[in-house]
Amino acid sequence: MSTTTAHKPNIKETADGLVRFNQIKPFTNVMFSGLFIILALMTFLPVLFVMIISISSEASVANNGYSFFPEELSLASYAYLWESRSYIGRAFLNSIGITVAGTLLGLVLTSTLGYSLSRPNFYFKPLYTIMIIIPMLFSGGLVARYMVNTQVYHLKNTYWSMILPGACSTFYVVIMRTFFQTTIPDSIIESGKIDGASQLRIFVQLVLPISLPVIATIGLFLTFNYWNAWYGAMLYVDSNHRTLYPLQYVLISIEKNASFMAMNEDHFMEGAMSLPTETMRMAIVMVVVLPIACSYPFFQRYFVGGLTVGAVKG
């Protein structure tokens, strides 16, 4: 009577099987590569198109419209912007200052509030949770917000009017709270308490260093929001305080009303109405897009991790 023993795969066979399982067929690889190339071109071509228009001559745009292959190239738009650097440069610096201050303030508010709400022993957790949920469901409206910001906080015609209203977002607070609850081990908090550290020291020295993915992700979102914001300037900044205008509001004003440049003729070159408005709009778009595009690679290493970490608790 013979006995048979079941064959047990060794480590090498298991590893080879996993490699074969994870391999992608050549045809599938080509299909995915082609799809991603198309998506990359769909993202890059509009930016390239805007750049080409910005270096086209105004006559070429007027005669043939927007084209990837203009009849004549010209840097007149960038020359006009350079000549107007005293005004547009001030708006550019305003946007940088508002973006940096708003992003830092937003990170401080959202991270501290999110961490507090993630602690099960926080006494006011139910109250503050209700307070951040209500704005997600109901809004006080534009008129009420305007009256509070101008009559109560007196933010009109100040830089704070473009910083404070968007500094703390309920959505970002919820993301922070979820990250802290699902990712920060309780053992780390307990070890800090055993060593006699205060809650502030635990948060700064233990929690924040391992929370860089979510902080960088929220920071990137806040940077985009502040850098592209112009609505706050339209609401809270009067025309006699033009030195407070951010670059984006100047761009919107130029696009919507050509008389804006004539009204500010003292800040621009003579003959403002004869400026290459079509190509200059695109040149300003490039000036707006390039800084934020250059900053993205510094956040990219944390971006995907910040969006996905905490989704599944291991």
CATH architecture of 76-308: Orthogonal Bundle (1.10)
Calpha distance 91→251 (Å, rounded): 10
Return per-residue pLDDT of the chain as tens, 314 residues. 444 555 555 555 555 555 565 667 777 778 888 898 998 888 888 888 888 888 888 777 777 777 788 878 888 778 877 777 777 788 888 999 999 999 999 999 999 998 988 888 888 888 888 888 888 787 777 888 888 888 998 899 999 999 998 888 888 998 888 888 888 888 888 888 888 888 888 888 888 888 888 888 898 889 889 998 888 888 899 888 888 889 888 877 766 665 455 455 555 555 455 556 677 778 877 877 877 777 777 666 665 555 544 444 44
> Cβ contacts of residue 283 below 8 Å, gap of 6+?
54, 77, 78, 81
**Domain spans of the chain?**
76-308
Token readout for 95 is: 């946007």
Residue 278 and residue 62 in contact, taking contact as beta carbons nearer than 8 Å: yes
Classify the phi-psi angles of 270: left when phi > 0, otherwise alpha if psi is within -120 to 50, otherwise beta.
Answer: beta
Calpha distance 90→206 (Å, rounded): 40
> Cβ contacts of residue 193 below 8 Å, gap of 6+?
202
Token readout for 307 is: 């969006």
Q: pTM, whole model, 2 decimals?
A: 0.74
The radius of gyration of the chain from alpha carbons, rounded to an integer in Å, stands at 27
Calpha distance 293→173 (Å, rounded): 25
